[in-house]
A and B are shown apart, each in its own frame.
Chain A
């Protein structure tokens, strides 16, 4: 039993990432009708927002007084770079700011992702509404390659470690809380933070769509774009903002994911393929379906990687997601919660 709980917990963080990316993909597909293969790149850009902020905060100067010996531009020992932040705010406050660079990157990533999203929609995707889905897939795929190569050019090909704040680096004993023996269910703090964060974002997106006037108009536009347009509402502008919000969701998922897996330039592509599988399993155009399928597949993947399961069916952990996707696509043509008439020619 404790093993099962541990696997469910382990599946939650990956499931959260899948759910967040799939949610963004579905938002874009549902509003603009565009299949965005560049969404993984947005996730990656978000992660590199965290890296950038970390680097900015760690920008420093070499304290001349502390330099012991310097030969031909190379300094030995003693020379300590002091980050400007520590210099300005004092060591305690500055150190805390640097330590908390990943959560702080959320504030940094929101405007960046908004801008990226708006630029992407107005600059490129706008021209592809009337083109076939294959063209949309191809042009966004090309954009994803370009974005990923630009990031590779500036940040290099190696993963960049981006630690979580010290307060969250360890693990805690989840088993004790629900009455198990100590050390049976040990779970890293940050994964729990990630899950809670994902739930907050998902709730925020659903709440925004459900309880604000803006969200109501967007939902109406998703159901019948033309009629909303005829009522004199500039639906295109609202859909552009929805695209920016979807980019934000992907970007924030990326920011918070950096302590779990050090970001590298191809992380977006790795997640994109799986997220598309998630979207299709959940049902194209269905927001709850995307979230549900994200968590479901994340948890299934983690169950399949249990030693007991691998003993019976070797290699199942590698293929479970695809296998489930194939079965669901063949038995439930619209995915788990897909609506009728979406993406059916």
Chain B
């Protein structure tokens, strides 16, 4: 009882900063955050099982997402979106040029692999460093403006990087064809045969090494590259949680809710937004470095503005400003890109085969534009629906569903019900 009263007093004087002090649980996370982190960690580690729920050869096997390439995309774009969310979700600055940092990171990583070593760790470190430096320059200039002007400035920088990587910087970037590891590359620290094409490794473990486990009809693939990327994803996620709960995170939220008031209290908010911009740029660089670590190639299209738009879609779709939202959004978009785009008319006919012929054909005709190459249409519609009805993204959708169930449970106790409603109103 006494504990509670001191707590509330602390809350009264320093409303939210106390949250950071209280978070001295395991790993410095509060109970709720720790639970979230453990759930995400478990999901990531068990992903090869979870994403392969259907046995090989069954009609539903094409919904299996548990192959290495797609799982790697999930975690890598998860990192990208988490980083973007640190900027957009916390400060409200909508950057339309984040793919540039991903591209810079990718180019830095591939050059490390070409010149120094095929081990992925130095490559990834360099990608973070270079993306950070580039973000510092772009951020320093772009953050002089806010609102749509900031968006246009970041877009302009990213499009310039793309155009330059495509044309003038060809000696460094490989132009349209991009860069790959070739037989002529002889990294200093890796002993390669004269015609051997290098393969990325993690202290000797080939990134493409996989262990396949067959249980009955099910086939599960455990890929080295995926688990290395997953470790980086969990680290980034952990850092993001700490950042969200830190006084620095509170400062960024203050920038979003009322920057003018912050300035009037004598605080210069620009160092904070710049720091957030650089951190999110470094996250993008990390994602770029990991992409190179997985497939050892880069092209300028990675920096095109549609790539920047994609990370915006991911973050909003999942829920901007929430911890788990961007990861969900990234997973959803990448899943759709790889799975929905593979469905074709033949598969649809198989599914609806139990129906009368006329209805079957009609259903296939109706669904046809939304599948295969038309998955962008599904994505666009889904995105519009989310923005219109669920501004908080999928996370808000989940919360709403959860609150409906909660209300049903507490119907008997009117006190609790009114409390819940009050909470909803205050939100």
Q: What separation, in Å, do the CA atoms of A280 and B150 have in the docked complex?
A: 11
CB of B148 within 8 A of CB of A322, answer no
Q: What separation, in Å, do the CA atoms of A143 and B166 have in the docked complex?
A: 29
Q: What separation, in Å, do the CA atoms of A283 and B421 have in the docked complex?
A: 45
CB of B168 within 8 A of CB of A315, answer yes
Determine whether A177 belongs to the interface, using a CB cutoff of 8 Å to chain B: no
| Min C-beta distance of A275 to chain B, whole Å | 11
Contact with A149, one of B147, B155, B376 (Cβ below 8 angstroms): B376
Contact with A35, one of B144, B148, B153 (Cβ below 8 angstroms): B148
Q: What separation, in Å, do the CA atoms of A280 and B381 have in the docked complex?
A: 28
Interface set, chain A 121-154, CB cutoff 8 A to B: 124, 127, 131, 133-135, 137-139, 141-146, 149-150, 152-153
CB of B164 within 8 A of CB of A127, answer no
Contact with A319, one of B147, B151, B163 (Cβ below 8 angstroms): B163
A contact face: mostly helix, strand, loop, or mixed = helix
| Min C-beta distance of A264 to chain B, whole Å | 15
Q: What separation, in Å, do the CA atoms of A133 and B387 have in the docked complex?
A: 12
CB of B146 within 8 A of CB of A345, answer yes
| Residues in A whose Cβ lies below 8 Å from that of B383 | 138, 141-142, 145
Using A145-B383, A273-B159, A315-B164 as known contacts, say yes or no to A139 and B388 having CB atoms under 8 A apart. yes
Query: Residue on B with the closest CB to A318?
Result: B163
Determine whether A71 belongs to the interface, using a CB cutoff of 8 Å to chain B: no
B376-397 vs A, CB cutoff 8 Å, 1 = contact: the mask equals: 1101110110011001000000
Determine whether A284 belongs to the interface, using a CB cutoff of 8 Å to chain B: yes
B contact face: mostly helix, strand, loop, or mixed = helix
Determine whether B403 belongs to the interface, using a CB cutoff of 8 Å to chain A: no
Q: What separation, in Å, do the CA atoms of A127 and B379 have in the docked complex?
A: 21
CB of A133 within 8 A of CB of B148, answer yes
| Residues in A whose Cβ lies below 8 Å from that of B155 | 273, 276-277
| Min C-beta distance of B310 to chain A, whole Å | 11
Q: What separation, in Å, do the CA atoms of A150 and B378 have in the docked complex?
A: 11
Determine whether A193 belongs to the interface, using a CB cutoff of 8 Å to chain B: no
| Residues in B whose Cβ lies below 8 Å from that of A134 | 92, 94
Determine whether B305 belongs to the interface, using a CB cutoff of 8 Å to chain A: yes
Determine whether B335 belongs to the interface, using a CB cutoff of 8 Å to chain A: no
CB of A343 within 8 A of CB of B147, answer yes
Q: What separation, in Å, do the CA atoms of A141 and B380 have in the docked complex?
A: 8
| Residues in A whose Cβ lies below 8 Å from that of B148 | 35, 133, 137, 280, 284, 343
CB of B388 within 8 A of CB of A326, answer no
Interface size on A, residues (CB 8 A): 40
CB of B163 within 8 A of CB of A153, answer no
CB of A315 within 8 A of CB of B167, answer yes
Using A315-B163, A315-B167 as known contacts, say yes or no to A273 and B305 having CB atoms under 8 A apart. yes
CB of B380 within 8 A of CB of A323, answer no
Q: What separation, in Å, do the CA atoms of A277 and B160 have in the docked complex?
A: 13
Contact with B152, one of A143, A276, A314, A319 (Cβ below 8 angstroms): A276
CB of A323 within 8 A of CB of B160, answer yes
| Min C-beta distance of A120 to chain B, whole Å | 12
Using A149-B376, A153-B377, A330-B144 as known contacts, say yes or no to A138 and B316 having CB atoms under 8 A apart. yes
Determine whether B218 belongs to the interface, using a CB cutoff of 8 Å to chain A: no
Interface size on B, residues (CB 8 A): 43
| Residues in B whose Cβ lies below 8 Å from that of A314 | 167-168
Using A145-B380, A315-B164, A318-B166 as known contacts, say yes or no to A325 and B387 having CB atoms under 8 A apart. no
Determine whether B233 belongs to the interface, using a CB cutoff of 8 Å to chain A: no
| Residues in B whose Cβ lies below 8 Å from that of A329 | 145, 149, 152-153
| Min C-beta distance of B169 to chain A, whole Å | 8
Determine whether B309 belongs to the interface, using a CB cutoff of 8 Å to chain A: yes
Q: What separation, in Å, do the CA atoms of A142 and B306 have in the docked complex?
A: 12
Contact with B380, one of A133, A149, A284, A343 (Cβ below 8 angstroms): A149
Determine whether A333 belongs to the interface, using a CB cutoff of 8 Å to chain B: yes
| Residues in B whose Cβ lies below 8 Å from that of A127 | 388
Contact with B153, one of A133, A143, A318, A326 (Cβ below 8 angstroms): A326
Interface set, chain B 66-93, CB cutoff 8 A to A: 92
Using A315-B167, A318-B163, A333-B145 as known contacts, say yes or no to A277 and B152 having CB atoms under 8 A apart. yes
| Residues in B whose Cβ lies below 8 Å from that of A145 | 376-377, 379-380, 383
B233-274 vs A, CB cutoff 8 Å, 1 = contact: the mask equals: 000000000000000000000000001100000000000000
| Residues in A whose Cβ lies below 8 Å from that of B380 | 142-146, 149
| Residues in A whose Cβ lies below 8 Å from that of B384 | 139, 142-143, 146
Query: Residue on B with the closest CB to A319?
Result: B160
| Residues in A whose Cβ lies below 8 Å from that of B367 | none
Interface set, chain B 255-314, CB cutoff 8 A to A: 259-260, 305-306, 309, 312
Taking beta carbons and an 8 Å cutoff, which residues of A are in contact with B?
35, 124, 127, 131, 133-135, 137-139, 141-146, 149-150, 152-153, 269, 273, 276-277, 280, 284, 314-315, 318-319, 322-323, 325-326, 329-330, 333, 343-345
Given contacts A137-B151, A153-B377, A322-B159, 4 further A-B pairs with CB under 8 A are A152-B373, A314-B167, A319-B160, A322-B160
Q: Which A-B residue pairs are the 5 nearest by beta carbons?
A: A315-B168, A145-B380, A318-B163, A149-B377, A142-B384
Q: List 11 A-B contacts (CB under 8 A).
A: A137-B151, A141-B312, A141-B383, A146-B380, A146-B384, A150-B369, A280-B149, A325-B156, A326-B156, A329-B152, A343-B149
